[in-house]
Structure 1
Amino acid sequence: MNDLHERIAASFNAQGLMTTLGARLAHVQDGEVRIELPFDARLSQQHGYVHAGAITSVVDSACGYAALTRGPEGCDVVTAEFKTNFLRPAIGQRFVAVGRVVNAGRQLAVVTGEVLAHTANGAEPKVVALMQATMVYVQPR
């Protein structure tokens, strides 16, 4: 494990929400982070799809951690704003949220994210959500 992965993993593992959702940090590289979320009926809405709140939470975290890979030494990151588009119902065995840095400055990072639904039959994953977000670099508390 490299220093970048360790830095992101330490922060990710401190998040109670990601633990509650059953999400796991799947991939870290400069400018990109992936978080996996297995299907769990406890995360569903009334039609049996994964709830938009769970989907938004994992893609927000993937975007934030992607931004953190480009952040100044010793900083942390918080979300300033985001917009999420839901393209189809979140149906699948597992979901992969991918956050990617578009531009990182000294104080802000603009990032994009997508959530891919993977099914048990091995079909091509489908994009269920897209995110555009702005992250702010802050000093840890």
Structure 2
Amino acid sequence: MYDRIKQSFDQQGIMKTIGAQLAEVEKGKVKITCEFSEKLTQHNGFFHAGVLTTIVDSACGYAALTTMPENANVLTVEFKVNFMKPAKTDQLVAIGKVLQAGRTLTICEGYVYNRNEEKLIAKMTATMIALV
């Protein structure tokens, strides 16, 4: 399972561009990290909301993929993100978790924390579709 997710993750140009790393993979749960860089900030010097959204969307998508057959692929159908605090941290930790896996649609929740996973920065609810 890890190899399948890692191979796909390594093909994503956006993950390379922002320096994101695949940290953990288990059935129904994926963790992605991203180290701080001034290149990833908004006007106040915090991580840009687009960076948070990008890594938590991918974490949710890969969490969904861990529940799908080997020949399946996944795409995001929709998501909603709530930003709870400014992303002022030296590392983002995005965790995607499957809430309900179906044949076609999978519902996930995603969370973005600081490095120690003590401060919740953002929360996502996402729907993923299986492509077979």
TM-score (ref. length: structure 1): 0.91
Aligned to 2:11: 14
- Partner Cα distance (1:40, 1:63) in 2: 23
Post-superposition Cα deviations, 1:83-132, rounded to whole Å, max 9, x if no partner, equal 000000001110100000000011110000000012xxx7x620100000
Aligned to 1:111: 108
2:92 maps to 1:133: no
Deviation at 1:14, TM superposition (A): 0.4
Deviation at 1:69, TM superposition (A): 0.2
- Partner Cα distance (2:100, 2:70) in 1: 17
Consecutive aligned runs of 4 or more in structure 1 exceeding 3 Å deviation: none
| Contact 1:67-1:109 within 8 A present in 2 as well | yes
| Partner AA of 2:129 in structure 1 | V
- The within-5 A match list for 1:41-52 is 41-52=38-49
Aligned to 1:56: 53
Count of residue pairs brought into register by the alignment = 132
| Contact 1:79-1:134 within 8 A present in 2 as well | yes
2:72 maps to 1:75: yes
- Show structure 2 runs of 5+ residues with no match: none
| Partner AA of 1:89 in structure 2 | P
Post-superposition Cα deviations, 1:32-84, rounded to whole Å, max 9, x if no partner, equal 00000001110000000000000000000000000000012210000000000
- Secondary structure of the structure 2 residue equivalent to 1:64: helix
Larger radius of gyration: 1
- Partner Cα distance (1:17, 1:73) in 2: 24
- Secondary structure of the structure 2 residue equivalent to 1:130: strand
RMSD: 1.0
Aligned to 1:24: 21
- Partner Cα distance (1:110, 1:71) in 2: 13
TM-score (ref. length: structure 2): 0.97
